[in-house]
Amino acid sequence: MTTGLAIDLLLAASLLWSAWRALATPDILRAVIFFIVFGLLLTLAWARLSAPDIALAEAAIGAGLTGAFLLDAIGILRGGRKP
Amino acid sequence: MKRMAVVLSAAIFSFAMIAAMLELPTPVVNLSDVVAAQMAASGVHHPVTAVLLNFRGYDTLLEIAVLLLALFGVLAVAISGTKETVAAPSPADAVVQTLARIAAPLMVLAAVYLLWIGAHRAGGAFQAGAVLAAGAVLLHLAGLLPGWGPPGIRLRVGLVGGFLVFLAVAGAMLAQGALLQYPPWQAGYLILLIEACLGMSLGLILAGLFLFLS
Amino acid sequence: MSAGLIFACTGVLLFTMGVAGVVLIDHLVRRILAFNLMGSGVFLVLVGLAQRTDHLDPVPQAMVLTGIVVALAATALALALARRLFALTGKCTLPEVDDD
């Protein structure tokens, strides 16, 4: 088993694990944090697939901006500020 | 009962898809060679940028229109109250504000670099717009940029400017021949113009998706 | 088994997890999370299948780039609607329909 194959399998396993935890955690804040972790792992997956443009966009948009939007929304839902 | 049915059908579907994917034949069409053969006429040196803004420019035009529609939806739903005033910074926030003040110009620089390098290496208008929007969100979260109320005339021009410039270029090309078919000696400049306006507009739209709701 | 095929299979599993999440979960923000997982799964399938040979195919990469930005806009609109629903009704699930 070469190193590349081992890294790919490990990355795929962590993607599936973090996605499962994002859907199954009872606490919504933890679910969003697992989703941000999923976005960052997906950036590594795009880098392994030789797609640097998508990796840049996923890091900025998928992990950064989507995470900010989600955290803002659940901050409203927990009664932080008036919506 | 419903859970069992959904989980079972999802499992069957995923097994079937994976089995089908493991037996795919080798592809007949080699798109990377087709793209590489036309790179000289596209005006840029990076294949993804050429595909995004030249060969499949129509998709990008429609995409920016869809983003504008989503922004209109967010504007329609957002509860318009009074404009938020910037609160006085507490001592804990001073560190965050200093960090945001240092990071924001660097992010603008990174965005311009990503926009420029898109013609040669990985980068382009979308990455630049995303970094700009992230800078705006960072400034807002640090308390330095107030949330946006109903947009004034300059913000409106900035939001729709990218789409209108792209549409104007498409209309000019349509008057000369086919839709979005740049003449090869002008393609580089047109792509740079479109990318610059698109990056600026995209940054404002993505920032607006966050800031119009705050 | 090349890297492309591994990630394409991962994409299929993510897609089915996302679909099951959208169908089964009641909370609206979690449904939006599951919808994003569906989108990411589809992008992995697109680029993974294109990458299973040795050529670097730029067309699926451009399509996925477009897709990521549009998925963000859809997520933002969905979250705005969910916040509006929460402001109006105080709950974050859709109102129950009396069938069965």
pLDDT digits (tens, 9 = 90+) for C40-72: 999 999 999 888 777 788 999 999 999 999 999
Say which residue, C88 or A22, is predicted with more confidence.
A22
Phi and psi of A58, rounded to 5°?
-70, -40
Cβ neighbours of C30 in A, within 8 Å: 23, 28, 31
Can you give the pLDDT at residue A18?
A: 96
A53 in reach of chain C (CB within 8 A): yes
Apex B36 CA angle, B34 and B37, nearest 5: 65
A29 in reach of chain C (CB within 8 A): no
Say which residue, B183 or C13, is predicted with more confidence.
C13
Q: How far apart are CA A3 and CA B50, in angstroms?
A: 33
Most confident of B22-26, B139-143, C31-35, C84-88: C31-35
Apex B22 CA angle, A3 and B36, nearest 5: 75
pLDDT level of residue C90 (50, 70, 90 thresholds): confident
Cβ neighbours of B133 in A, within 8 Å: 65
Cβ neighbours of B213 in A, within 8 Å: 72
Cβ neighbours of C84 in B, within 8 Å: 77, 79
Closest by CA position to B119, among listed B70, B192, B170, B201: B192
pLDDT level of residue A83 (50, 70, 90 thresholds): low
Q: Which of C5, C9, C10 to substitute to test the interface with A, most A CBs within 10 Å?
A: C10
Can you give the pLDDT at residue B147?
A: 83
| In-domain check, residue A54 | yes
A4 in reach of chain C (CB within 8 A): yes
Whole-Å CA distances, C41 to B17, B97, C9, C67:
13, 37, 9, 12
| In-domain check, residue A68 | yes
Say which residue, B128 or C100, is predicted with more confidence.
B128
- C96 has pLDDT over 80: no
C64: containing domain: 3-89
| In-domain check, residue A32 | yes
Q: How far apart are CA B35 and CA B31, in angstroms?
A: 6
A39: containing domain: 3-77
| In-domain check, residue A11 | yes
The least confident of B105-114, C27-36, C46-55, C60-69 is C46-55
The answer to whether the beta carbons of residues C61 and C44 sit under 8 Å apart is no
In which residue are the tokens 């990355």 written? A11
* Contact call for A49 and C79, based on CB within 8 A: no
| In-domain check, residue C7 | yes
Can you give the pLDDT at residue B59?
A: 92
| In-domain check, residue C78 | yes
Domain coordinates in residue numbering, chain B: 2-211
| In-domain check, residue A46 | yes
Cβ neighbours of A39 in B, within 8 Å: none
Identify the CATH number of the domain in which residue C8 sits: 1.10.287
| In-domain check, residue C49 | yes
* Contact call for A60 and B213, based on CB within 8 A: no
B60 in reach of chain A (CB within 8 A): no
Can you give the pLDDT at residue B82?
A: 45
Q: What is the pTM of this model?
A: 0.92
The whole-angstrom distance between C67's CA and the closest CA on chain A is 10
| In-domain check, residue C96 | no
**DSSP states of B133-144 as a string?**
HHHHHHHHHTTS
| In-domain check, residue A83 | no
- B103 has pLDDT over 80: yes
- How many domains is chain C partitioned into structurally? 1
Q: How far apart are CA A54 and CA B64, in angstroms?
A: 18
Can you give the pLDDT at residue B142?
A: 87
Closest residue, chain B, to A75 (C-alpha): B214
- B85 has pLDDT over 60: no
* Contact call for B126 and A83, based on CB within 8 A: no
Whole-Å CA distances, B93 to A65, A75, A79, B58, C38:
21, 18, 21, 45, 37
Tens digit of each residue's pLDDT (9 = 90 or more) over B138-189? 998 888 888 888 888 999 999 999 999 999 999 998 888 777 888 888 888 8
Whole-Å CA distances, B156 to B83, B160, B210, C4:
17, 6, 16, 43
